[in-house]
Chain A
């Protein structure tokens, strides 16, 4: 968090950031004195960086503005400015279902995230710190899951969940989310538990602590930074999941409650309002769906970046 602040502060004041200021003088003399090439390239590269930055920010600002416009303002021109700054569209979006979709997502995540973390950490710990026959097998068994596209299992998964009577139920989606989050969680926590010193474990054993107790009272507290990274990763992943809820959370009959999650609900809302012509509602709905992840990201951006990229690096 402090990192974000440092940098944004540096931008406002238009001075080099802390890392740069260390030898900022050298930069200046170098650019002015010697290398003409350096300067041209700098303008060029900065141009590209700025262009891309605009391309990232412009749609998001446009989206936010759209939720304050009226329907005719949106339809008239992409560049119209909202005439009034009230939150009507947000209220309408919330009432049209976004509120419920939001709640559904929260209910699912309230169970799936802690359980994913608990089960993932348990499996990773047992695999990382204990030698037993089949250890390697189970490790690769978990890690292999990340290699296959979700479409491979989708059709049988639907009928399996149907057979268990769990289509369009929270518990069904929770269990599936946990299963699909385990490969990365186990992979990451396995690596993390391996880095923890063994001496502490031995000391705890000598003090007569049981294996379970060592895990919960010694290892988990020590693994907090790793657990946090993985938890953020899982929150973002499950919050943003689309294909699984789209397949598994469909109303089974007219009497069945609509338990769509946020991403799915947003797409539904987009379809409905496309016909009804209430565009500000779509923009407001998107803003509502986006805000939590943007806030989580800006707060934990380092962990988010490292967590998400660690999943890719071998």
Chain B
């Protein structure tokens, strides 16, 4: 029955493996090598400089600032997104409560699920252009428009969201929150729906309030998914390239004002495409990768606990 099996398997695997190895894996591997050189890009002339790029990175003020911004995002973005998404998911799936013990979502939960997910199918580039318009620093910006309507800010001096050194990074973070909540709502919903209804019904019969059933029943059962969400949001927080480069002020790939919204990805791209410092950019790529990997491993390890079978 298995005659010609190996020929078949080879035939089916060879093209995908080759493509994938050449265009994805090989550049990944090369990055490590180049990160030890002073490569300038176009020509193949380069010499081995050891760890120079890495030591330079950690005395480069702009890079350290960028790294710090990534870390800030790394801490706050997952917390905000997961809490909001969990709250919404709980409401949409088990928040509606009847006296006769029905476990279901609040009214219109289907609509909310469809609606909240919409931002997630839009490209980050579209989000960036759209939110740049929304955050405009004059009366024409949507947020300033709303604030002025509500009397929260002075029409003569609207808030310059993206030009304010203290606000700019959080403005960008909010866009990521806006983009991500719907996705994690759906993700957590899927996990909540796989929890047997009897568990909720038992909690309800025992007189658990909604808050109690959330913290004592839902959250522990969803722990695995929350952990996965954390890793994915951390990876997202390490990126932010499109948003920062389009939304924020600054020459070549944004990051302004005065590097106050700089992240590692924008600084990498500026070094690579504008300054032609390819070796240096590769070293940044490696740092981004190591940090991401480290974070995923730490998250998975720290949050590991007894898996609940049901």
Contacts and interface: CB of A to CB of B under 8 A. Distances in A.
B187 A309 contact: yes
Contacts of B129: 266-267, 270, 282, 286
A145 B239 CA distance: 16
Interface string B1-32: 10011101101110111011011111110110
B208 interface: no
Interface residues of B, number: 114
Given A56-B116, A145-B20, A151 B133 contact: no
A8 to B, nearest CB: 7
Nearest to A297: B121
Contacts, number: 324
A312 B210 contact: no
Contact of B98 (A30, A79, A297): A30
B31 A182 contact: no
Interface stretch (B57-65, B74-82, B277-285): B277-285
A63 B132 CA distance: 12
Interface stretch (A45-53, A86-94, A223-231): A45-53
B272 to A, nearest CB: 5
Interface string A190-222: 000000000000000100001110010000000
B135 to A, nearest CB: 11
B102 A313 contact: no
B217 interface: no
Interface stretch (B47-55, B165-173, B177-185, B195-203): B177-185
Contacts of A149: 235, 238-239, 285, 288-289, 292
Interface in B107-137: 107-126, 128-134
Interface of B: 1, 4-6, 8-9, 11-13, 15-17, 19-20, 22-28, 30-31, 34, 41, 84, 87-88, 91-92, 95-102, 104-126, 128-134, 138-142, 144-146, 149, 178, 181-183, 186-187, 190-191, 209-210, 224-225, 228-229, 232, 235, 238-239, 241-242, 246, 264-265, 268, 272-273, 278, 281-282, 284-286, 288-289, 292-293, 296
13 contacts: A17-B108, A20-B105, A78-B145, A126-B9, A147-B296, A152-B289, A211-B8, A241-B123, A247-B273, A301-B117, A308-B183, A312-B228, A313-B191
